[in-house]
């Protein structure tokens, strides 16, 4: 078993960083795509993803409210490591493709909180913290 307070931190971090994503994916799904036009199907898929993120936040909240860390806590943490690998991959791809916050003429600038370098750092931190909870 790990420290009483530490095991809750990754779950709090996940809720904190994913809450904004829940809002954007469910209420403004078109903001997640680089194209001006977003098909109805794409909006529906993005909203569904937002609902999945909301579900993961509720699972994290339920886990945080438990009095102690258990084997289920560790299993949830390891499952969330798997989840956070994919936002890391997306952020890395966006960095390699040159979407680091500077857009060309006529295109909008990427807001600070939407920058791929920030996303990469936050999701790598989540991966590491959840891995620590899941392994130790």
In-domain check, residue 81: yes
pLDDT surpassing 60 at residue 50: yes
In-domain check, residue 125: yes
Domain residue limits at 62: 6-135
Overall pTM > 0.95: no
In eight-state DSSP terms, residue 108 is P
Cα–Cα distance, 126 to 80 (Å, whole number) = 8
List CB contacts of 37: < 8 A, sequence separation 6 or more.
none
In-domain check, residue 70: yes
Cα–Cα distance, 31 to 114 (Å, whole number) = 10
In-domain check, residue 31: yes
In a 3-state reduction of DSSP, which class is residue 102? coil
Once rounded to an integer, what is the mean pLDDT over residues 64-73?
95
How many C-beta neighbours within 10 Å does residue 106 have?
5
Once rounded to an integer, what is the mean pLDDT over residues 10-23?
97
Kindly report which listed range (84-88, 105-109, 118-122) carries the lowest average pLDDT score. 105-109
pLDDT surpassing 70 at residue 100: no
Whether 34 contacts 97, CB under 8 Å: no
Cα–Cα distance, 53 to 105 (Å, whole number) = 34
In the chain, how many domains are there?
Answer: 1
In-domain check, residue 118: yes
In-domain check, residue 1: no
Cα–Cα distance, 133 to 136 (Å, whole number) = 6
In-domain check, residue 69: yes
The 3-state DSSP composition of the chain as helix, strand, coil percent (nearest 5) reads: 75, 0, 25
Q: Which residues of 24-60 are buried (b: 16+ CB within 10 A; e: fewer)?
A: bbbeebeebeeeeebeeeebeebeebbeebbebbebb
pLDDT on residue 101: 53
pLDDT on residue 9: 97
In-domain check, residue 116: yes
pLDDT on residue 30: 87
Kindly report which listed range (8-22, 38-52, 55-69, 91-105) carries the lowest average pLDDT score. 91-105
């Amino acid at each position: 078993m790990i420290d009483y307070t530490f095991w809750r931190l990754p779950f709090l971090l996940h809720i904190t960083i994913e809450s904004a994503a829940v809002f954007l994916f469910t209420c403004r799904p078109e903001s997640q795509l680089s194209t001006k036009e977003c098909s109805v199907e794409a909006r529906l898929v993005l909203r569904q993803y937002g609902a999945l993120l909301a579900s993961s936040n509720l699972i994290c909240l339920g886990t945080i409210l438990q009095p102690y860390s258990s084997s289920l806590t560790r299993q949830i943490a390891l499952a969330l490591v798997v989840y956070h690998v994919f936002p890391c991959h997306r952020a890395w791809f966006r960095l390699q493709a040159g979407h680091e916050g500077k857009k060309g003429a006529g295109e909008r600038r990427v807001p600070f909180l939407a920058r791929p370098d920030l996303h990469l750092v936050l999701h790598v931190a989540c991966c590491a913290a959840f891995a620590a909870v899941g392994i130790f």
